[in-house]
Amino acid sequence: MGTDKGERSVSQTVKAQLALRDLILKGALSPGERVSELQMVERLGVSRTPVRVALVRLEEEGLLEAIPSGGFAVRAFSEREVFEAIEIRGTLEGLAARLAAERGVSRADLQTAAEYLDAIDEVVRREAFDVDGISRYVELNEQFHNCLVDLAGSQALARQLDRASALPFASPSAFVEAQSNSPEAHLILTIAQDQHRCVLNAIERRESGRAEAIMREHARLAHRNLERAFSNQRILDLVPGATLIRRRARV
């Protein structure tokens, strides 16, 4: 009975966290808007304890910030902060690649990573990049990036990367949907996939400096995509969490 109660509590917390995150990312809660515990209890239809935990977790993710008067507010991000978030992820993934190369990786683990890349190749080769193709690419891309972190064998680094990637516009697949309708989408994904292949090769060859540099450069593709999104509101609207970004005034 106690176990069932505990599982229900966890389930309710996860439900509250996912629902609240969805409200934020879709713009139903605006940047700067106060988010109170009681308000979310009524809106999400769960009890106070799961909501309380969900609010704290989303603060840890960086989507909410505590306010002096109590409760939380939806966090807003400057363009500079978005670029920095991507840079931080690239730096951490570069460190993961370097550690993997330095420490060495088993043949079996290399094969697992290569299988993810083989599957991505099949998606990228498609002439039409439809909704199913986008979803499949995002899934496989995240699996490869997670696998890369696992190869480093560092729980401390994995925790920091989880935190860095929690911001929706900083994740490895943040701009896939936004760029999918672009004439150069296939080229960008092809370049990204080549970088995946190159970093895995560098890890296998124990070329730590090269592996780190490739992953840091890999994050620069996201920088490029973000710059393009900022110049086109239609594209920016497809970026997860775009409603949280305070746009800089342009002359």
Query: Sign of the C-alpha dihedral, residues 106, 109, 110, 111?
Result: positive
Q: pLDDT tens-digit profile of 42-51?
A: 999 899 999 9
Q: For the chain, what is the mean pLDDT?
A: 87
Q: pLDDT tens-digit profile of 180-190?
A: 666 677 788 88
Percent of the chain with pLDDT over 70: 90
Three-class SS state of 245: strand
* CB contact at 8 A, 161 and 90: no
Q: Which of 62-76, 190-204, 234-248 has the lowest mean pLDDT?
A: 234-248
Tell me whether strands 72-74 and 64-66 are parallel, antiparallel or unpaired: antiparallel
Higher-pLDDT residue of 173 and 141 is 141
Domains annotated on the chain, with CATH:
2-75 (1.10.10.10), 78-246 (1.20.120.530)
* CB contact at 8 A, 45 and 38: no
Q: Has residue 6 got a pLDDT over 70? A: no
Q: Has residue 163 got a pLDDT over 60? A: yes
pLDDT confidence tier of residue 233, bands split at 50, 70 and 90: confident
pLDDT confidence tier of residue 172, bands split at 50, 70 and 90: confident
Place of tokens 């490739």: 214
Give the C-alpha separation, 104 to 114, whole Å.
16
> Residue 231 burial by CB count (10 A; 0-12/13-18/19+): exposed, middle or buried?
exposed
pTM: 0.81
Tell me whether strands 64-66 and 77-78 are parallel, antiparallel or unpaired: unpaired
Q: pLDDT tens-digit profile of 68-113?
A: 888 899 999 988 888 898 999 999 999 999 999 999 999 999 999 9
Q: How far from 117 is each of 36, 124, 139, 205, CA to CA, in Å?
A: 44, 10, 12, 18
Instruction: Determine the average pLDDT of the residues in 31-42.
Output: 92
Three-class SS state of 27: coil
